Each structure stands twice: as C-alpha cells, then as structure tokens.
C-alpha cells in the first residue's frame, strides 16, 4: 500500500513538472504548429478579406495554433507583437509589414531565436535577405502597369489619345510596397506622356475617410480633373463621395474616369454599374498560400523566396454579373 502511495506521489510530481515547463505536448504528429501572425491593421475591405483568409487557413482544425495581433496601422505595435511571439516561442512568425523599412533589429532577434519568418502581402527592405524565409504577395508594379495600360487604351478607344490629361493621384500608405509599385507605374507613364499631368498627390493611407477629406478639400480649389488614380478601393469610395458633393460626375458616363486597385466585391459591383471605370485586382486570399509555405518548411523543404500571385484587371465594359458572382472576396 505504501509503495502505491509513493508511486502515485511520484507520478503527480512528474505530471506537475511537465505542465510547469510550458506544455505537455501530445505525440509529435498531433502537436499544433504555433504561428504568430502580425497583421498591420483593418484599414480596408482588402485587409478584412486578407485577415479572414489568414485566420481561416491557420485554424486549429488545419493543425495550427494561431496567435493573432492587429497592429492598428502602427509599426510599433507590430514590433511589440513580434517580440511577444518570440517570448512565446512560436514555431513561425508571419508578418504583413505596414511599410518596407524598420524591420532589421526585430527580425534579427527572431533569427537568433531560430524562429522562421514568413512575409505576406507587402515586403521589407533589408540588406540581409536571410532575415525572412519567404514572401507571398502581389506584383504591385505590374498592377500599376496594367492599370496605366488600360488608361492608354481607353484614351485611344475614346479618340482622346494625345490630348492633355489631368490625373488626381490618391496614394496608399507611404513606404508600403503596394504604394511604391503602383505609384512608380503612374509616374513612369506620366514621364512617357508629356500631355499627361499629375494635378495633385493625396496621401489617402488606404482609408475611405482620409481620401474623402483630402479630395473634398482638393476640389475646393481645383475641379479640372480627367482621371482619379486611387491606389485602393476604399480611397476610391471616399473620392466618389467628395465628387458627388462637388457635383462632379464620374464613371463610364461621367466627366472623370476612376481607376481603383484591389477589386473587392463592393468595388466590382460599382464597376459593373459603370461607376468605376477599371478595377485592378489585388488578391488578398493568402491564407492557404501561407499555410502551404509553412507545411513545406515543416517537411524540411525551402520554399521559393518570392511567391507572386497572378491577377487581372476588370473593366466596366467587359465585367459581367456572372464574373462578379464567382469572386471569392
Ligand atoms: C495590397 C495591400 C493594400 C491594399 C489596400 O496588397 O497591401 O493594403 O491595396 C490595403 O486595400 O490597405
């Protein structure tokens, strides 16, 4: 009897020690992969769709334990989140960086903690490419080039090629890869077309509210606009509200052409109605892609460093209800 009590006491002590050291993990194959995901914010329809995709893919039923942090558009919050993930000893860190600069120190800490980092959506500018394992996202310069190519072709179609053109540029968050690429495409086109002029550049930060305020104020002094090049849907929505208040028409039957990026459901519906002339797709459904990259690394494989997604441009004159219904976001 006494022996049984000693054994039971020893067993309870062992169980306590195992639990006290953090986790009593089950068999290796049943262990959840712990992922810390630093999402930059919730500023747009695109970001909401991206978060939904990421959290659905990195779910417990798919074999993941997800530690999710929303940085509310502040880089300092992302830095804090990453350091917390390191303290938590996650297996992987996934980062959607709000801007390209400012990541070297914190990613060096992750590297020293031997925690692989996967970048999603925007990129970072770091000397040491070993600070992250791989990246998945869009080719933002290509997106901008496709949008500009549409504008050039539209001007030919309407017989206005070569005529003076004034473009209002609503820019995304400064230093974000999406902003850098889409802006570069427009600036390159303006250099190619001496008859084109940038009437103004508004820092809309990808939000509808900021874009509305900036466009409303801009139109108080300058109403001579032919095109609005909006670097995401939500800023385009803000511009539309300001145009309506100023009594200016837009879209396929209006005086001002609207070009938008992301092509989420709401914008595509407006495109179908002819209110937005062209919507450049920016696919946010990175959840399954990131999950696959992690599974590759779990198998000891090294994924491609850069993983681009394919995207298309939607035009008001070719978009159909059937296409819209088939969209996933
Ligand atoms: C693009 C993404 C941008 C979207 C915006 O991949 O980084 O950020 O275009 C979002 O809608 O806010």
Is 24's pLDDT higher than 60? no
Token pair belonging to 244: 């309506």
Lowest mean pLDDT across 30-34, 109-113, 239-243:
30-34
Span 229-258, average pLDDT? 98
> What is residue 22's predicted lDDT score, i.e. its pLDDT?
43
**How far, in whole angstroms, is CA 250 from its chain's centroid?**
27
Cβ atoms of 296 and 284 within 8 Å: the answer is no
Ordered by start, the domain boundaries in the chain are 32-138+284-298, 140-282+315-325
Span 155-165, average pLDDT? 97
> What is residue 16's predicted lDDT score, i.e. its pLDDT?
55
> What is residue 85's predicted lDDT score, i.e. its pLDDT?
98
What's the 247 CA to ligand 1 centre distance in angstroms?
29
Half-sphere exposure for 320 (CA within 13 Å, toward CB) = 3
> What is residue 65's predicted lDDT score, i.e. its pLDDT?
98
Mean pLDDT computed over every residue of the chain: 94
Taking the C-alpha atoms of residue 63 and residue 321, their distance in angstroms, rounded to an integer, is: 37
Positive or negative, the CA dihedral 168, 172, 174, 176 is negative
Closest residue by Cα to atom 1, ligand 1, is 178
> What is residue 5's predicted lDDT score, i.e. its pLDDT?
64
Is CATH 2.40.30.10 correct for 32-138+284-298?
no
Span 119-136, average pLDDT? 96
Token pair belonging to 227: 């095109």
Span 3-32, average pLDDT? 59
Atom index in ligand 1 nearest the CA of residue 176 equals 7
CATH classification code of 140-282+315-325: 3.40.50.2300
Closest residue by Cα to atom 3, ligand 1, is 178
What's the 73 CA to ligand 1 centre distance in angstroms?
12
Say yes or no: do domains 32-138+284-298 and 140-282+315-325 share a fold.
yes
Q: Is the CB of 262 under 6 A from ligand 1?
A: yes
> What is residue 30's predicted lDDT score, i.e. its pLDDT?
76
Q: Is the CB of 121 under 6 A from ligand 1?
A: yes
pTM, 2 dp = 0.90
């Amino acid at each position: 009897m006494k022996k049984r009590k000693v054994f039971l006491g020893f067993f309870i002590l062992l169980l306590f020690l195992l639990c006290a050291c953090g986790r009593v993990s089950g068999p290796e194959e049943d262990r959840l992969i712990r992922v810390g995901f630093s999402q930059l914010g919730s500023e747009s329809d695109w970001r909401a769709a991206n978060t939904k995709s990421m959290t659905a893919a990195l779910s417990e039923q798919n074999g993941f334990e997800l530690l999710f942090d929303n940085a509310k558009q502040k880089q300092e919050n992302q830095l804090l989140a990453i350091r917390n993930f390191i303290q938590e000893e996650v297996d992987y860190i996934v980062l959607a960086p709000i801007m390209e600069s400012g990541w070297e120190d914190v990613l060096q800490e992750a590297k020293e903690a031997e925690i692989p980092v996967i970048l999603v959506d925007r990129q970072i500018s770091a000397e040491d490419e070993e600070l992250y394992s791989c990246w998945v996202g869009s080719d933002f310069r290509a997106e901008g080039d496709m949008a500009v190519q549409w504008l050039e072709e539209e001007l030919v179609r309407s017989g206005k090629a070569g005529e003076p053109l004034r473009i209002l540029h609503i820019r995304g968050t400064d230093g974000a890869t999406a902003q850098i690429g889409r802006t570069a495409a427009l600036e390159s086109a303006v250099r190619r077309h001496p008859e084109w002029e940038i009437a103004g550049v508004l820092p809309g930060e990808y939000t509808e509210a900021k874009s509305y305020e900036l466009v409303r104020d801009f139109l108080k002094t300058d109403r001579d606009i032919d095109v609005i090049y909006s670097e995401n849907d939500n800023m385009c929505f803000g511009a539309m509200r300001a145009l309506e208040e100023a009594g200016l028409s837009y879209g396929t039957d209006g005086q001002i052409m609207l070009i938008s990026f992301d092509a989420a459901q709401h914008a595509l519906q407006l495109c179908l109605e002819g209110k937005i002339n062209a919507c450049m797709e920016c696919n946010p459904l990175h959840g399954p892609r990131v999950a696959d990259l992690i599974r590759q690394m779990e198998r000891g494989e090294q994924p491609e460093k850069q993983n681009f997604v394919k995207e298309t441009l939607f035009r008001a004159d070719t978009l159909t209800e059937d296409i819209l219904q088939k969209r996933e976001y």
